[in-house]
Amino acid sequence: MPKITIIHPDGNTAKYGLNGPTFTIGRAEGNDIMLPDGAASSHHAVLNMNETGDFTVTDLESTNKTTVNGRAVQTSPLQHGDKLVFGDIEAFYESDIPASGRYPDDQRTQIYEGTGSPPQTPAAAPASRPAPVTVVPQVIHRPASTTARRSTHSSDGGCFTLIVLGLVIQMAFFVGVVIRHRQEKSQWFWDYLQQYLNS
């Protein structure tokens, strides 16, 4: 998480965690980061998160300017170890987040550390930072169960089988009657059938 440490004229420090997208800086109440009395303006500067996850400082046309590493700026991206001066109030910017880091937009600034002595100037950031590893969850698509379809088709198949079986039995009975009649009476079944119908 990026942080900014404000050094008060009496030597005390206040460190702010920058866990949101935008922070106003100045002496007036209502600023996210309030500066002590001095040459800073009431609404001196604003910090905005940029696409890298670090912050960019923008001077709000203050009377005594904003400087980054001794150079007066209107707008300047910040890097780990940068020294800022708001009027006559010094500050140090720290960052250890990867280039693609982000923080929730609905969180506010938190003052989480106060000390009695100024911090040491932070060491310069390493030349390169490892890229974060992004884990993408795998979605496994399984075919829909065919149990219901099988049961439906099996009942239909059972009905069809019974119908076919009934027809086969009738045909077998009919053929059996014909053969038996021919063997016993020595006449064609059709003749027998005609005699039966005429009687």
**pLDDT by 10s per residue, the chain, length 199:** 899 999 998 888 999 999 899 999 999 999 999 998 888 999 999 999 998 889 999 999 999 999 999 999 999 999 999 999 999 999 999 998 765 444 444 444 444 455 555 555 555 544 444 455 444 444 444 445 444 444 444 455 667 888 888 888 888 887 777 676 666 555 566 666 677 677 6
In this structure, what is the dihedral angle of CA atoms 68, 26, 75, 17, given to the nearest 10 degrees? 70
Distance CA 20, CA 83 (A): 21
Measure Cα distances from 122 to 6, 12, 129, 173, 175 in Å. Answer: 14, 17, 17, 105, 107
Tokens of residue 50, six digits: 């940029």
Give the pTM. 0.50
